């Protein structure tokens, strides 16, 4: 290693940030080296995204300095960051959906901020070159709209390469990806590191951090608690540093009396999406729906709830045939559905947290059409306490909360709604390890009160810990039904792997 390489790419000193007088980052010192993949870990609201946004010029620090290769820099906005070679890949990629992939790639790169001067043929050729470098096959002439999240991320990474970024920040990039896509992403991240680039990787999944990262920095309540080589820390060390208290044991199951069938689905089919889905969920029962991302589980849930109804098949609620053509029909029958894409579904970003939390219970908040603010506030405050939602005030616009805390608030909304049948789609995605326990408790409690729960999850430990029965889907079909007693990781996994890949492995 030459001497120059020992100079950190970025030196952050005493970085602090306040929003409306509330300090959310305090005196953070951090050196990021060339050619390292550096993880940021911490509970929801610890300050990871805020720190990332300061590096990327989205936020200005209220105090502190940054140096790039030893030279002081002021990253006053994202364009400056881009010129300095710093790219932030947001969880929901920001793109221009109607422009082509190639156009999206060169946007923001030309000096005048527009791309009209870039000749088309050259642009397409270049875009192809970056895709080849990444080893991904995306038609660069097609529009962005309709690309999978994984491919959209690849375009963002290609854009980082095109602008020759030295620091690439990935904020929870893996949440919506299949295991294969995660592997592709990791392969690319390693290659970029080996070229001497620096990568910041933010994730709540410790096993991913172990597989990918060289060093980790742990944040807690806006303080940097530790930076170390990943190999020096056990999982228990990391969790202790992250949450500063012992982790609550959640692997015990509430006992609930299993009652009559609440939800019954037969022969549900939407050609090209899912076929002949049949199962039932009883009152008091938690039924898991496992499988890989893309197996069709969300589509089934959306069909049951009337978001995108099936073409054939029947749904019965409490033994009666149900005609569910739109979500209102489902809600009227006592169903609730917490969708996986909580960032787009049902968040009212500019409204206060308390209104977001109580949005599904107008009957309690405004029984005579007049809003009872005190009830609204106290229900919201209870939920905030129970789910440890980190915020300054329940009057804050929900858009100001950290990603994970927004999710908790939306979950709280549906838990308060008192449904008799609750469908949860990946409820703990993006939620930190410290609060999962409380959340599992709440689900258990809801079942014990006699509610029927369908839990869609890609996290096998979660299914195994909570469910009375586990169904598995692959490629739009049910491939297994396992009782709590017989279920284990291998059985779920082998039923979740698509047939095409199984053949491949057997050959």
Ligand X SMILES: Nc1ncnc2c1ncn2[C@@H]1O[C@H](COP(=O)(O)OP(=O)(O)OP(=O)(O)O)[C@@H](O)[C@H]1O
Q: Which residues of this protein are in contact with Mg ion, per CB under 5 A?
A: 49, 402-403
Nearest to 280 by CA among 264, 294, 291: 264
Based on the shown chain and the rule CB under 6 A, indicate whether residue 57 belongs to the binding site for ligand X.
no
Q: For the segment 325-384, give every residue that binds ligand X (CB under 6 A).
A: none
Expressed in percent and rounded to 5, the helix, strand and coil fractions of the chain are: 35, 25, 40
For residue 489, count CB atoms less than 10 angstroms from its CB and return exposed for 0-12, middle for 13-18, buried for 19 or more. Answer: exposed
Give min distance, CB of 171 to Mg ion, in A.
6
Instruction: Specify the 3-state DSSP secondary structure of 191.
Output: helix
Based on the shown chain and the rule CB under 6 A, indicate whether residue 457 belongs to the binding site for ligand X.
no
Q: Cβ contacts of residue 359 below 8 Å, gap of 6+?
A: 346, 348, 413
Q: Cβ contacts of residue 120 below 8 Å, gap of 6+?
A: none
Q: Which does 44 bind (CB under 5 to 8 A by kind): Mg ion, ligand X, none?
A: ligand X
Q: For the segment 409-438, give every residue that binds ligand X (CB under 6 A).
A: 432
**Residue 147: count of CB within 10 angstroms of its CB:** 20
Q: Cβ contacts of residue 15 below 8 Å, gap of 6+?
A: 25, 27, 28, 29, 30, 51, 54, 61, 63, 64, 65, 66
Based on the shown chain and the rule CB under 6 A, indicate whether residue 176 belongs to the binding site for ligand X.
no
Based on the shown chain and the rule CB under 6 A, indicate whether residue 464 belongs to the binding site for ligand X.
no
Residue whose Cβ sits closest to Mg ion: 49
Based on the shown chain and the rule CB under 6 A, indicate whether residue 479 belongs to the binding site for ligand X.
no
Stretch that binds ligand X, among 42-50, 112-120, 278-286, 420-428 (CB under 6 A): 42-50
Given 47, 288, 294, 444, the residue binding ligand X (CB under 6 A): 47
Nearest to 162 by CA among 215, 97, 109, 224: 109
Q: Which does 34 bind (CB under 5 to 8 A by kind): Mg ion, ligand X, none?
A: none
DSSP letters of 320-371?
Answer: EE---SSHHHHHHTTEEEE-S-TTTSS--TTSBHHHHHTTT-HHHH-TTSS-
Given 7, 13, 16, 19, the residue binding ligand X (CB under 6 A): 19
Based on the shown chain and the rule CB under 6 A, indicate whether residue 402 belongs to the binding site for ligand X.
yes
Give min distance, CB of 432 to ligand X, in A.
6
Nearer to Mg ion, 48 or 197 (CB): 48
- Name residue, tokens 């597989």: 211
Q: How far apart are CA 325 and CA 239, in angstroms?
A: 45
Based on the shown chain and the rule CB under 6 A, indicate whether residue 221 belongs to the binding site for ligand X.
no
Give min distance, CB of 442 to Mg ion, in A.
22
Stretch that binds ligand X, among 38-46, 67-75, 259-267, 499-507 (CB under 6 A): 38-46
Q: Which does 8 bind (CB under 5 to 8 A by kind): ligand X, Mg ion, none?
A: none
For the four alpha carbons of 344, 155, 148 and 167, in that order, the dihedral sign comes to negative
Residue whose Cβ sits closest to ligand X: 404
Based on the shown chain and the rule CB under 6 A, indicate whether residue 50 belongs to the binding site for ligand X.
yes
Given 28, 46, 106, 286, the residue binding ligand X (CB under 6 A): 46
Q: Which does 476 bind (CB under 5 to 8 A by kind): Mg ion, ligand X, none?
A: none
Nearest to 271 by CA among 299, 251, 248: 299
Give min distance, CB of 175 to ligand X, in A.
10
Given 9, 10, 15, 24, the residue binding ligand X (CB under 6 A): 24
Nearer to ligand X, 18 or 269 (CB): 18
Residues that bind ligand X (CB under 6 A): 19, 24, 42, 44-50, 390-391, 400-405, 432
């Amino acid at each position: 290693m030459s001497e120059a390489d020992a100079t950190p790419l970025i030196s952050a000193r005493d970085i602090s940030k306040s929003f409306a007088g509330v300090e959310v980052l305090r005196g953070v010192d951090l050196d990021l080296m060339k050619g390292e993949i550096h993880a940021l870990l911490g509970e929801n609201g610890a300050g990871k995204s805020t720190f990332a946004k300061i590096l990327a010029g989205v936020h200005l620090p209220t105090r502190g300095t940054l140096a790039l290769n030893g030279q002081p820099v002021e990253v006053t906005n994202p364009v400056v960051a881009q010129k300095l070679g710093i790219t932030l890949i947001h969880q929901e990629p920001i793109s221009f959906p109607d422009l082509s992939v190639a156009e999206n790639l060169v946007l923001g790169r030309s000096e005048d901020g527009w791309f009209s001067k870039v000749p088309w043929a050259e642009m397409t050729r270049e875009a192809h070159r970056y895709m080849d470098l990444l080893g991904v096959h995306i038609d660069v002439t097609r529009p962005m709209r309709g690309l999978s999240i994984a491919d959209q991320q690849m375009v963002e990474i290609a854009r980082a390469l095109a602008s020759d970024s030295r620091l690439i920040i990935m904020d929870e990039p893996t949440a919506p990806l299949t295991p294969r896509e995660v592997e592709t992403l990791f392969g690319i991240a390693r290659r970029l590191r080996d070229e001497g680039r620096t990568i910041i990787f933010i994730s709540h999944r410790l096993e991913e951090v172990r597989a990918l990262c060289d060093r980790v920095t742990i944040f807690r309540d806006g303080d940097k608690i530790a930076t170390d080589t990943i190999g020096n820390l056990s999982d228990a060390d990391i969790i202790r540093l992250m949450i500063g208290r012992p982790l609550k044991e959640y692997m015990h199951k509430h006992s609930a009396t299993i009652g009559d069938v609440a939800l019954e689905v037969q022969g549900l089919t939407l050609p090209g999406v899912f076929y002949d889905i049949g199962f039932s969920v009883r009152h008091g029962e938690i039924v898991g729906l496992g499988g890989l991302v893309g197996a069709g589980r969300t589509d089934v849930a959306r069909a049951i709830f009337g978001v995108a109804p099936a073409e054939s098949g029947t749904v019965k609620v409490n033994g009666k045939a149900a005609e569910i053509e739109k979500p209102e029909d489902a809600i009227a029958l006592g169903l609730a559905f917490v969708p996986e894409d909580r960032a787009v579904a049902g968040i009212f970003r500019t409204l206060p947290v308390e209104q977001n939390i109580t949005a599904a219970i107008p009957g309690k908040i405004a029984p005579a059409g007049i809003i009872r603010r005190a009830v609204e506030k106290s229900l919201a405050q209870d939920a905030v306490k129970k789910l440890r939602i980190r915020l300054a005030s329940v009057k804050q616009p929900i858009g100001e909360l950290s990603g994970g805390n927004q999710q908790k608030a939306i979950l709280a909304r549906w838990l308060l709604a008192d449904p008799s049948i609750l469908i949860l789609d990946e409820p703990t995605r993006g939620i930190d390890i410290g609060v999962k326990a409380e959340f599992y408790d709440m689900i258990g409690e809801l079942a014990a009160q006699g509610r029927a729960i369908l839990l869609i999850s890609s996290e096998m430990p979660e299914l195994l810990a909570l469910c009375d029965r586990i169904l598995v889907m692959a490629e739009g079909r049910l491939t297994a039904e396992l009782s709590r007693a017989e279920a284990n990781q291998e059985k779920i996994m082998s039923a979740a792997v698509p047939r095409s890949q199984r053949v491949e492995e057997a050959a």
